[in-house]
Amino acid sequence: MKVKQIAIFLENKSGRLADISHTLAANAINIRALSLADTADFGILRLVVSETEKAQQVLKSAGFTVGITEVLAVEVPDKPGALDLVLQVVSKAGLNVEYMYAFTRKSGETGMLLFRFDDQERAIKAFQDAGCKLLSDEEVHAL
């Protein structure tokens, strides 16, 4: 039910994102989804990749500070209102979203919402009770 992602802390300076993408490309690691957030001094790049542990290893070897965390991946139809349906489940369950990001797998067909909650287990139960489709780590990494 939980999906592994890597979180990379990087300085806000020119070329750092390109260094990360180059390192991953050179090691044949495919990026499935990403989110970038920044502050005045640093950024946090969150990635779901084809090979999480390998990505962590090669990025650490390249001098990046990298950690692995878990998110929940909810499959949704790619149509108006799909996000709202999922967020209504979140709201009714009283869940606190720490962060989320999304992407469309195939236009007009399916999308994926990636969530980090303060209580992941309670979120899993809320989604299951509502009939939402949670994707496994293997399903997401195989995209």
Reported as a single tens digit per residue, the pLDDT across 87-123 is 999 999 999 999 999 988 777 788 999 999 999 999 9
**Residue 52: partners with Cβ closer than 8 Å, 6 or more residues away:** 4, 5, 6, 68, 141
**Residue 47: partners with Cβ closer than 8 Å, 6 or more residues away:** 5, 6, 8, 31, 32, 33, 34, 55
Q: Which fold has domain 2-69?
A: VC0802-like (3.30.2130)
pTM: predicted TM-score of the whole model, two decimal places: 0.89
Give me the residue spans of the domains in the chain. 2-69, 71-141
CATH top-level class of 71-141: alpha beta
Q: How far is 63 from 45, CA to CA, in rounded Å? A: 15
